[in-house]
Amino acid sequence: MIQKTLVLLKPDAVQRALIGRIIQRFEDVGLKIVGAKMVWADKELADRHYLDLGERRGNEVKERMMAFLTKTGPVLALVLEGVEAVEIVRKLVGSTEPKSALPGTIRGDFAHLSLVYADCKDKTVPNLIHASGSPEEAKKEIELWFKPSEIHSYRLSHEEHVL
């Protein structure tokens, strides 16, 4: 099944100049970028993005995540498309906690902090990237971050082998 998914390269990825290296990993496995823009998220956008995070992980965690997303720097928002894109992206990204992410994943190769360390420092874990967790979540998140006119349709040369 061909899916679209949202990926956010968070401010730490942008500030560390990892954008190209991260995007390359998605393109290397055949995912197609159908939407891309740099956004400095405001509080309203961050709140809507992390809508249910307070219920799942507590309001303190939500506030930290929102502050990180809105005050640290811009985000590169991407819509990726491909065969089972949600699952493929999640696999490439690795575990949410960088110290637990396997080598070869984006977080495993470029980040290392633990949740415990971040909690001791009263900050969020700089884990580089957000990736939608399910096709349903991807649909909602794409609609939140992108207008329909910002999503593009085109064919890559290798798609002849997939379709």
- The set of catalytic residues is 130
SS3 129: strand
Furthest C-alpha separation in the chain: 51
The per-residue DSSP string of 3-41 comes to: EEEEEEE-HHHHHTT-HHHHHHHHHHTT-EEEEEEEE--
